[in-house]
């Protein structure tokens, strides 16, 4: 049977990972400055993570959501403590898109409306409602476009307020820091005004922290650089460090009822243990602080490089803007310098999302290889 051919692939086969490196079949090391789409938070094959999941696998990997599973509560307690969102409730699912799908549904249950406001360049996933709230018509099928979505310019409140005043908007969804859109950081004042406007019109505010959450920005959530209390916060990616899992943090003003949301696999024993191990490591190794320090260090270095037009981001979520397409640069970095980096919707943006365990030596190694690539004609070919 052939694989359904939807992914353009690099000709590299990673078979092993350790810390900030992955290794191919020949044992060649690659410095991972992308974390496989921003997924690797605590590093590849972290010994604590491996040990906890291994032990859980031997004990019990799965039972359904019809029995007691104390690991779910342990995960919720640890997530509450580290994020500062102790008063929220947690619904566990399996991916980022599914987290947003459930959040959009919760919002619509709550106020009985169906219109959605999202922002230019937004990406919220590929399931039915989530993809409709994504600013990319090419990935929407007719079956996805069954409710109205308004896309507003990033950071502009006026149009949003006018729409909200019509009292028919169910939800505003916004990324804590835009990821695939090219690493765009919202002004704290914008998020705060957006929250106030939503409150005034009984519109639900969803903060999509799927890429910017779990310490990547240097705080637990990207929105925590502002003073806001979102109704719903969605998480995935770094939450499981590669184990597929997602979640919705739900404000106490929402009351659960039996059967309102549900999933077979969400919150299973193995996933919970992966999530607990990630939170333990984030805390014990102070990785939020590390993301902040190493992010500042890298961004300072980038700001001194003439070929870079703009440096955006927070912590270890960094976007570099060039005045040329970065595809050849990424290829050069990968094949010649053995470094993984990420692309963005804007072809001139390079996206960097290394593990939050990144050390000074690895950062320096990256800078050295990156500067060497930038001097190379082939890397800059347009
Ligand atoms: C901000 C954001 N939301 C949602 C998603 C969808 O997550 P998943 O691919 O796990 O469904 C992504 C994935 O890249 C994302 O970056």
For residues 200 and 164, is the Cβ–Cβ distance under 8 A?
yes
Output the CA 298–ligand 1 centroid distance in Å: 25
Shared domain for 316 and 278, answered yes or no, is no
Shared domain for 350 and 302, answered yes or no, is yes
Shared domain for 295 and 273, answered yes or no, is no
Q: Is the pLDDT of residue 262 over 70?
A: yes
Backbone angles phi, psi at 109, to 5 degrees: -60, -40
Shared domain for 24 and 92, answered yes or no, is no
Which structure tokens are listed for 21?
Answer: 């490196």
pLDDT single digits (tens) 241-259: 999 999 999 999 999 999 9
Which residue has a Cα nearest atom 7 of ligand 1?
96
Shared domain for 295 and 210, answered yes or no, is no
Block residue for tokens 């995935």 = 236
pLDDT at 379: 82
For residues 120 and 135, is the Cβ–Cβ distance under 8 A?
yes
Shared domain for 63 and 92, answered yes or no, is yes
In a domain, 269, yes or no: yes
- Beta strands 149-152; 115-119: pairing state: parallel
In a domain, 7, yes or no: no
From the CB of 118, is ligand 1 less than 6 Å away?
A: no
pLDDT single digits (tens) 271-301: 999 999 999 999 999 999 999 999 999 999 9
From CA 32, how far away is CA 374, in angstroms rounded?
Answer: 18
Last residue of a domain, one of 231, 252, 284: 284
Last residue of a domain, one of 240, 269, 284: 284
In a domain, 30, yes or no: yes
* CATH number, residue 293: 3.90.1150.10
- B/e letters for 222-236, b = 16+ CB within 10 Å, e = fewer, are bbbbbebebbbbbbb
Shared domain for 213 and 106, answered yes or no, is yes
From the CB of 201, is ligand 1 less than 6 Å away?
A: no
From the CB of 123, is ligand 1 less than 6 Å away?
A: yes
Average pLDDT, the chain: 97
Question: Which run of H or E residues covers position 311?
Answer: strand 310-314
Q: Is pTM, for the whole model, over 0.85?
A: yes
From CA 26, how far away is CA 216, in angstroms rounded?
Answer: 31
Write the secondary structure of 51-66 as one string of H (helix), E (strand) and C (coil): HHHHHHHHHCCCCCCC
Shared domain for 65 and 138, answered yes or no, is yes
How many independent structural domains does the chain possess? 2
From CA 189, how far away is CA 19, in angstroms rounded?
Answer: 37
Shared domain for 269 and 122, answered yes or no, is yes
* CATH number, residue 227: 3.40.640.10
pLDDT single digits (tens) 302-325: 999 999 999 999 999 999 999 999
Domain of 324, in residue numbers: 14-46+286-379
Shared domain for 108 and 233, answered yes or no, is yes
Last residue of a domain, one of 284, 315, 343: 284
In a domain, 217, yes or no: yes
From the CB of 179, is ligand 1 less than 6 Å away?
A: yes
**Residue from 179, 233, 238 whose mutation best tests the ligand 1 pocket (most atoms within 8 A of CB):** 179
From the CB of 208, is ligand 1 less than 6 Å away?
A: yes
Q: Is the pLDDT of residue 381 over 80?
A: no
Query: SS3 for 263?
Result: coil
Q: Confidence class of residue 382 from pLDDT cuts 50, 70 and 90?
A: low
pLDDT at 377: 79
Average pLDDT estimate for 334-350: 98
pLDDT single digits (tens) 348-358: 999 999 999 99
From CA 316, how far away is CA 57, in angstroms rounded?
Answer: 31
Shared domain for 35 and 66, answered yes or no, is no
From the CB of 213, is ligand 1 less than 6 Å away?
A: no
Average pLDDT estimate for 91-115: 98
Shared domain for 161 and 266, answered yes or no, is yes
pLDDT single digits (tens) 164-217: 999 999 999 999 999 999 999 999 999 999 999 999 999 999 999 999 999 999
In a domain, 157, yes or no: yes
Q: Confidence class of residue 42 from pLDDT cuts 50, 70 and 90?
A: very high
**Residue from 97, 213, 235, 239 whose mutation best tests the ligand 1 pocket (most atoms within 8 A of CB):** 97
For residues 235 and 215, is the Cβ–Cβ distance under 8 A?
no
């Amino acid at each position: 049977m052939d694989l359904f051919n939807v992914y353009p692939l690099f000709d590299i086969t990673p078979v092993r990972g350790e810390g900030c490196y992955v290794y191919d079949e020949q044992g060649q090391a690659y410095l991972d400055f992308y974390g496989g789409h921003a997924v690797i938070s605590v590093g590849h094959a972290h010994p604590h993570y491996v040990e906890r999941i291994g032990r859980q696998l031997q004990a019990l990997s799965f039972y359904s959501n019809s029995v007691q599973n104390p690991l779910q509560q342990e995960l919720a307690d640890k997530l509450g403590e580290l994020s500062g969102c102790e008063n929220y409730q947690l619904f566990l699912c399996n991916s980022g898109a599914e987290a947003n799908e459930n959040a959009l549904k919760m919002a619509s249950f709550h106020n009985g409306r169906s219109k959605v406001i999202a922002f230019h360049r937004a990406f919220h996933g590929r399931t039915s409602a989530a993809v409709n709230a994504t600013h990319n018509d090419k990935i929407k099928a007719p079956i996805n476009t069954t409710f109205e979505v308004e896309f507003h310019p990033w950071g502009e409140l006026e149009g949003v307020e006018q729409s909200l005043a019509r009292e028919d908007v169910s939800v505003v969804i916004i990324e804590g820091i835009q990821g695939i859109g090219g690493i765009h950081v919202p002004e704290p004042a914008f998020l705060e005004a957006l929250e106030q406007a939503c409150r005034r019109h009984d519109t639900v505010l969803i903060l999509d922290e799927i890429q910017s959450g779990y310490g990547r920005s240097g705080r637990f959530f990207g929105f925590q650089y502002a003073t806001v209390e979102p109704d719903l916060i969605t998480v995935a990616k770094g939450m499981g460090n590669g184990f597929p899992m997602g979640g919705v943090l739900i404000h106490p003003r929402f009351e659960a009822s039996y059967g309102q949301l549900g999933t077979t696999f969400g919150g299973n024993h193995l996933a919970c243990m992966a999530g607990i191990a990630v939170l333990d490591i984030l805390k014990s190794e102070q990785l939020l602080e590390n993301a902040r320090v190493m992010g500042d260090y890298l961004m300072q270095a980038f700001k001194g490089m003439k070929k870079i037009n703009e440096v955006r981001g927070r912590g270890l979520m960094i976007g570099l803007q060039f005045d040329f397409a970065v595809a050849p640069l990424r290829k050069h970095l990968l094949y010649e310098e053995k470094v993984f980096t990420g692309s963005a919707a804007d072809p001139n943006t390079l996206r960097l999302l290394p593990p939050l365990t990144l050390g000074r030596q690895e950062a320096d190694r990256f800078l050295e290889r990156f500067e060497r690539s930038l001097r190379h004609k082939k890397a800059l070919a347009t």
